[in-house]
Amino acid sequence: MTIKQTISAIVPAAGVGSRMKHSAPKQYIQLAGQTILEHTLAKLSCLEQLSRIVVAVSDDDPFYEQLTFSDKRINRVSGGKERADSVLNALLSLADNPPDWVLVHDAARPLVELNDITRLIEQCMRVSEGGILASKVKDTIKRGISHSKQTVPRDDLWQALTPQLFKYDDLTHALQNALANNVAITDEASAIEWANKPVQLVSGRSDNIKITTPEDLDLAGFLLQKQKNESAL
């Protein structure tokens, strides 16, 4: 008999997004009639596999409460100073009834394709290992500060994307231990790597961009309309 495994999603959304040079954090910037965060949560809401969707928001955030969500799985928890703190807070909020797996997704990645998320989930569960969506690096990569010192071979280089999917216990313990040891955590995979556990690289679409700068917003608007046109066919 196959035992169904539970998955909860975590969306860290406590950042200020200073590079956007906007009066509101980037997750609340309007994109095609909705905020970026609303677009992102709408994508996750399409996943029936998720039992809960936890959004980690700063306690002094005045914007989140202005949004309304029909999906009752969406809940707010307190965010932290850094991304890793927000994710850990969200994980601990689930501790009374923990899921088997957690799917962590950037608030500012509204263009992720559901097929990519489904493939990530299926591949990770099939071999019982965590993994991330990632895209092979296509451009020539240079190493240097003000001048190029080296061309870096890109055969085994990947750009990390989200979602990232890990077992609840593995990610919780990895983050707790890494933060206690002052390890720099840039994404969930870096904590799992530090804990010497495997991280699968699951190929995802490169247009799953993270909206960080004003030019990203223009590109996201174009890509979002393209997705809508394709879904209408």
3-state secondary structure 130-185: CEEEEEECCCCEEEECCCEEEEECCCCCEEEEEEEEEEHHHHHHHHHHHHHCCCCC
Residue-wise pLDDT for 53-65, tens only, equals 999 999 999 999 9
| 1 domain residue, yes or no | no
- Single pTM value for the model: 0.94
Give the mean pLDDT of 111-125: 97
Are 175 and 91 within 8 A, CB to CB?
yes
> pLDDT over 70 for what percent of the chain?
95
pLDDT value at position 227? 85
Residue 85 has pLDDT above 50, yes or no: yes
Instruction: Answer whether residue 116 shows pLDDT above 50.
Output: yes
| Cβ atoms 35, 57 nearer than 8 A | no
**What pLDDT score does 230 carry?**
80
CATH number at residue 203: 3.90.550.10
State residue 188's pLDDT score.
98
- Is it the case that residue 20 has pLDDT exceeding 70? no
Q: Note whether residue 74 is domain-resident.
A: yes
> HSE (CB half, 13 Å, CA atoms) of 3?
3
Mean pLDDT on 80-108: 97
Q: Does 103 reside within a domain? A: yes
Answer yes or no: is 49 within a domain. Answer: yes
Q: How many domains does the chain have?
A: 1
pLDDT of residue 233: 67
H/E stretch holding 39 reads helix 36-45
Averaged pLDDT of the chain: 93
pLDDT digits (tens, 9 = 90+) for 178-206: 999 999 999 999 999 999 999 999 999 99
pLDDT bucket at 1, cuts 50 / 70 / 90: very low
Mean pLDDT of 90-108: 98
Domain-located, residue 104: yes
* Predicted pLDDT of residue 3: 63
Domain around 25: 7-231
User: Is 65 a domain residue?
Assistant: yes
Angle (CA) 22-23-25 rounded to 5° is 75
pLDDT over 90, % of the chain: 87
Q: How far apart are CA 227 and CA 186, in angstroms?
A: 29
Helix 83-93 to helix 168-180 angle (10° resolution) is: 130
Q: Is residue 112 part of a domain?
A: yes
34, 43 contact by CB (below 8 A): no
Classify strands 131-136 and 200-203 as parallel, antiparallel or unpaired. parallel
